[in-house]
Structure 1
Amino acid sequence: MSKFDLKVRYKELYRASTSAFSEVSVPPLSFVKVDGEGDPNTASAYRTAVTSLYGVSYAMKFAAKALGCDYVVPPLEALWWSDDPSSFVRREKDRWCWTVMIAAPDFVTHAMFESAVMRAERKRGTSPGSLRFEPYLEGRALQILHIGRYDDEGPTLKHLHDEVMPSRGVTFNGPHHEIYLSDPRKTEPAKLKTILRQPIR
């Protein structure tokens, strides 16, 4: 059985230049999501959210595989926002709000999600209250590939906010979006690969 892979189906969404921002058009995709706020390095809610996402996502994958539709679980993603966007440049993490999320192919149904939640809760206990499965339409966006530590993203984001977006006559149209292509548990911080994406209008 061949595995469906969103990273292959939508190559342009999971690949980007490291030297310049490129524009992409992101189609509607469905995600398992959990909301929260605070520093992801210290907030226990963030760790709980990520654990819940993976538990449910893999339970959905196994349910799909049983029906003959196996797929590769996509990488972790997150939406980030703050009342002051410059807090990302300054890395004031305690002021951040977030939605962590993992995508799923369109053949995964809401019924499969609900069944996966029950299966995951039998193993790990109660899920976060904001856990849900829903479509997300991002549309037009600018993105770049960042290689290195998460805390080194600041200059790239400042360049985006202060120079790239004004020069193109566009503004913010949704929260800052990151796609984590590397596993931080297995990858040196200097080699982490992260897509930095900003929806625009």
Structure 2
Amino acid sequence: MAFDYKKEYKEFYLPPKTPGIVTVPAMNFLAVRGQGDPNQEGGAYKQALELLYAVAYTIKMSKMGDHKLEGYFDYVVPPLEGLWWQEGVHGVDYSRKADFRWISLIRLPEFVTEEAFDWAIREVTEKKQRDFSKVEFFSWEEGLCVQCMHIGPYDDEPATVAAMEEYAKNQGYEADFREGRFHHETYLSDVRRCKPEKLKTVIRQPVRRMP
């Protein structure tokens, strides 16, 4: 049975539809950084996802090749995630998608070291004959956050975010957007196959205790 991060770490991937406070530990990811409207056809965001998934599946399918990664275990590729921000904006402004700056992420299994990552980049570059230099090994400890499961279109997220912020305030927390602390989304639905009203997105935002 392949290890499934969504099932094994439900606290982070399947939270309730009501907000809660969570502390997220350090994890390693594949990452591509960029900026601009994620909905732009053929834009930087769509290209970033192509790069991420190509590397992610090169690692997963390494079990079929000659190069064996030490400590490998079979697993389900974790869902796509994204960190979002805009210069001079507290949180995110959904009406200004062209101003988005983002880091697209796919979580890495614990056996993937930087050495294993480097091998995967060489392997996929040779196989695809494409430049994968934008993909990086990204270590990140998110820390204290408020989170919630959002059901519905992405453009309806502000209402969920407002409820999260209100909940956090009532629990004695305040927003903590600063360097390394971002609006975070985890995408549990395939937008190509799922109706907008049924999309599942985990939304997470950084908080700190009020002084």
For normalisation by structure 1, the TM-score amounts to 0.89
Correspondence 1:23 to 2:30: no
Taking only aligned residues, the RMSD between alpha carbons, in angstroms, comes to: 1.9
Aligned position for 2:34: 36
The answer to whether the 8 Å contact 1:147/1:193 transfers is yes
Q: SS of 2:174's equivalent?
A: coil
- What letter corresponds to residue 25 of structure 1 in structure 2? T
How far has the Cα of 1:170 moved from its partner? 2.1
Q: Distance in 2 between matches of 1:28 and 1:124?
A: 33
Q: SS of 2:30's equivalent?
A: strand
Aligned position for 1:127: 132
Q: Distance in 1 between matches of 2:43 and 2:122?
A: 22
Aligned position for 1:188: 195
Larger proportion of helix? 1
Aligned position for 1:159: 163
Correspondence 1:110 to 2:110: no
Q: Distance in 1 between matches of 2:200 and 2:95?
A: 18
Q: SS of 1:60's equivalent?
A: helix
Q: SS of 1:137's equivalent?
A: strand
* Aligned-residue identity in percent: 39
Unaligned runs of 5+ in 2: none
With over 3 angstroms needed to count, the CA separation of the structure-2 counterparts of 1:177 and 1:71, relative to structure 1, is same
Q: Distance in 2 between matches of 1:25 and 1:124?
A: 40
- What letter corresponds to residue 137 of structure 1 in structure 2? E
Q: Distance in 1 between matches of 2:85 and 2:24?
A: 19
What is the number of equivalent residue pairs in this alignment? 196
How far has the Cα of 1:62 moved from its partner? 1.6
Q: SS of 1:170's equivalent?
A: strand
With over 3 angstroms needed to count, the CA separation of the structure-2 counterparts of 1:128 and 1:151, relative to structure 1, is farther
- What letter corresponds to residue 9 of structure 1 in structure 2? E
- What letter corresponds to residue 148 of structure 1 in structure 2? G
- What letter corresponds to residue 54 of structure 2 in structure 1? G
Unaligned runs of 5+ in 1: none
With over 3 angstroms needed to count, the CA separation of the structure-2 counterparts of 1:12 and 1:86, relative to structure 1, is closer
Aligned position for 2:56: 57
Correspondence 1:101 to 2:102: no
Aligned position for 1:150: 154
Alignment equivalent of 1:85, drawn from 84, 90, 98: 90
The answer to whether the 8 Å contact 1:87/1:95 transfers is no
For normalisation by structure 2, the TM-score amounts to 0.85
Q: Distance in 2 between matches of 1:124 and 1:145?
A: 39
How far has the Cα of 1:124 moved from its partner? 5.2
With over 3 angstroms needed to count, the CA separation of the structure-2 counterparts of 1:64 and 1:28, relative to structure 1, is farther
Q: Distance in 2 between matches of 1:60 and 1:4?
A: 14
How far has the Cα of 1:87 moved from its partner? 4.3
- What letter corresponds to residue 14 of structure 1 in structure 2? Y
Cα displacement string for residues 3-49 of structure 1 (whole angstroms, at most 9, x for unaligned residues): 2222222110011121x211111111110000011110017111110
Q: SS of 1:133's equivalent?
A: strand
The answer to whether the 8 Å contact 1:74/1:103 transfers is yes
Q: Distance in 1 between matches of 2:153 and 2:23?
A: 27
Q: Distance in 1 between matches of 2:27 and 2:162?
A: 28
